[in-house]
Structures are given as C-alpha cells and as structure tokens.
Structure 1
Amino acid sequence: MDHTKRMMIEIADYQDPCHRAGIIKLMTAYALDPMGGGEALSDDVLNNLCDALAGEAGAVTLLAFDKAKPVALLTALRGFSTFKCQPLLNIHDVMVLPEYRGQGLSVQMIAKLEDYARSRNYCKLTLEVLANNAVAQRVYRHCGFAPYELDPLQGAATFWQKSLA
C-alpha cells in the first residue's frame, strides 16, 4: 500500500515526548534488523539516547510520520572537513519500517537533510553503508553519493573501527 501521500517529515525535537518515543521505537526496530546488527539495544542506551543526542552539537534526527505513527528515521552527526575548513554532516542511521520500504522515504529524508545542511553552510554529507546492502547503495547512488576517493589511483576509502568499550 502506498502511504507516501500522508507522510510528513519533521526535524525531531529531542525533548518532545512523541518524538522521543518515535526515535526509541525506530531505533529498537533498526537494531533488531539484520542490517542493524540483529541485537537489541540495552535499556541504558534506549533510556539515554535522546538526551545524549540533544547534547551533541549539530546532531539532527529526521522522523517520517504516517499520520501520527513514526515510520522512518534518519540521524546525522556533525563532523568537520579539514580540507574544506567547514562542517559536514555524517548520516549515521537510516531506518524505514519494513511495511513502508520502497516508497521513497529514504530519498525524501536525505533531500530534507541536504536542504538543512546547505542552509547551514555544511560542505558535504557522508555516510557508511554495508558492502552487501545493495538496496541502500542504490538509494544512496540515486541521491548522488559515491564511494569516497581523493585520487582514483589510490582507491576508495573504507570505513574502519576500533571498539573502545
């Protein structure tokens, strides 16, 4: 069923009880999805996430609603480009409930985030995507993203991590 005609995308207010509940609901669903790791988030994370995001300078979460029901989320965090000497936004989470996938919500949220970033003089949007998540890669390419490289001869950058906890 095509729900997109009733959709509204809003910048979340981390203090609004409805928005807080939506973020927790969608992040719970995301974490349990295989693309989110397939494991529940701890109660500590769920209880503190919105307040922690509110304390992060430049953090922004977009929520898509079908009437009053939160159905999709995008969270981005501020970073900085030393090469451009300007802030950037890194898209950290993109999640659409399964029954709302394939309707362009991710594209709409990314477009809204791009408008938000341009209005604040951010120099670029960045994101990470799993190598086997072909659906997300198609969406991101459609939105103008490409693997990051400075020089094609040096190859594309890869995302690495070292856990400290």
Structure 2
Amino acid sequence: MSAAVVTVRAVDYANPRDAAALVALLDAYASDPAGGGEPLAPAVKAQLPSALAQRAGAFSVIAWAQAPDGSEQAVGLVNCFEGFSTFACLPLVNVHDVAVLPAWRGQRVAQQMLAAVEATARARGACKLTLEVLQGNAPALRTYTREGFVAYALDPAWGQAQLMQKLL
C-alpha cells in the first residue's frame, strides 16, 4: 500500500463510480466498531447519494489510492454539511463522517482529506470546521488534534461543549 499514491477529489453524487465508492466506504465505516458496528440499511445504500445531492450545503471528498498499475481504489471518505455560526454571522462546515479503510489507517489519508475539506470550507467563506468524535477513539482524536481541532468552549469556567442527541 505504501507504493500507492493517494489523491483526494470532490465527490460527484451523480457519478455512479463516486456514488458507489461513497456508499461502500460509509458502509465499511458504519460496520466498524467506531461507526456503531452495524451496516447501513439497504434503503440508505440505495438512496444516500441522491439524498446528499439534494442538500445544497452537502459536500464529500474521497481519497483514491492509485496503484503502480494505474488502478484506483477508494480508501477514505469525508462527508460535510454547511451550517451557520450566528455568533460570527458566517457559514461553518461540519465534518460529519470521516472514514478510512482499516488497511489505510495511520498513513495520513485523513490528513489529506481534511486539508481538502478545509480548502473547500475556506472557499465557501466558512469561519470554522466542526466535528464530533467518540472519546474512546484515540487514533481519531490524535489525528484531529494534530490537524488543529480543539475541544469547544466559550468560557473555560463553563466547561467544554458536549454533544447530545434526541432521536426522532
């Protein structure tokens, strides 16, 4: 794998190859313990690329590894959604999924994808990138810290923000 060159490209949700790679990578991530350990539902697999294409603020990047013979393999994915910071009155970009195939972890694939995401966010005039990560995912935490992400706090006296959810 170290002989392969990795390039990161924006996903064209309407392109069948990109769409299939996106679904395969997200399914691999969902099936991994870090992603919950459950594969994507068949309906999600069938509808995801077109559903993302309908969301004006959505964008994704895929890392493609090119082998010496010229063949390419999708090895990493980042899905993002544009939001809005009311305090800055500017857009922000939420990094929603970061997935790297197990055989490619530790090879800075996520770093390359996050750099592409940051460039897109800057081009969109975003004031910041946000993401969520499980406390027990030490490799991801190291990656995000190395790439400049920090825990969110407005005033240290009030502590760090905590992600919460309410299922509907």
Counterpart amino acid of residue 77 in structure 1: F
Cα RMSD between the aligned structures? 0.9
- Rounded to whole Å, the distance in 2 between the matches of 1:57 and 1:87 is 13
Counterpart amino acid of residue 18 in structure 2: H
Q: Does 1:74 align with 2:78?
A: yes
Aligned to 1:35: 34
Q: Which runs of 5+ in 1 are unaligned?
A: none
Aligned to 1:6: 5
**C-alpha deviations, 1:94-126, integer Å up to 9, x for none?**
000011111101011111111111111011000
**C-alpha deviations, 1:59-101, integer Å up to 9, x for none?**
1100011122111000011111000011110000000001111
Mapping for residues 21-100 of structure 1, pairs under 5 Å? 21-67=20-66, 68-100=72-104
Helix, strand or coil at the partner of 1:35: helix
**C-alpha deviations, 1:1-47, integer Å up to 9, x for none?**
415x5111000000001100100110110110000000111111110
- Rounded to whole Å, the distance in 2 between the matches of 1:110 and 1:40 is 24
Helix, strand or coil at the partner of 1:132: coil
Equivalent of residue 129 in structure 2, options 125, 130, 139: 125
Helix, strand or coil at the partner of 2:37: coil
**Equivalent residues, number:** 163
Runs of 4+ more than 2 Å apart = none
Identity of counterpart residues, as a percentage?
47
